[in-house]
């Protein structure tokens, strides 16, 4: 199961979840497996940074990442996300 969240973290004008150290997210969403760029229509060659975490149940969570000017990597997930309903899954036969 893969869950990707990108809309609750960012500069929009509604209450936003804060970016926190990766270790804080790993306590809820499991270890960070990998990170990469999620392409966007206006990415100008970079895209949005995305981290994939795997929790104890085997669910893979895709959460937004950012790198601060001091080099610290932070991630973002709104409160209660881990308890939210799953919105999509890959078929078991998918490689």
DSSP state, residue 26: H
Q: What is the dihedral of CA 1, 86, 31, 43, to 10 degrees?
A: 90
Closest among 57, 55, 48 to 76, alpha carbons compared: 48
Closest among 9, 13, 14, 1 to 65, alpha carbons compared: 9
pLDDT on residue 2: 55
Whether the CB-CB separation of 46 and 37 falls below 8 Å is answered with yes
Per-residue pLDDT in tens (0 to 9) along the chain, 95 residues:
555 555 556 555 656 789 999 999 999 999 999 998 866 666 565 668 889 999 998 888 889 999 899 999 999 988 888 888 777 777 777 55
pLDDT on residue 93: 73
Domain ranges (residues) in the chain: 2-38+48-80
pTM of the model: 0.70
């Amino acid at each position: 199961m893969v869950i990707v969240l990108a809309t609750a973290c960012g500069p929009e004008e509604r209450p936003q979840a804060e970016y926190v150290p990766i270790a804080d997210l790993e306590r809820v969403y499991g270890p960070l497996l990998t990170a990469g760029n999620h392409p966007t229509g206006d990415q100008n060659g970079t895209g949005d940074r995305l981290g994939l975490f795997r929790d104890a149940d085997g669910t893979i969570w895709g959460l937004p990442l950012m790198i601060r000017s001091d080099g610290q990597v932070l991630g973002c997930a709104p409160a209660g996300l881990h308890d939210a309903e799953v919105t999509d899954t890959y078929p078991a036969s998918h490689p």
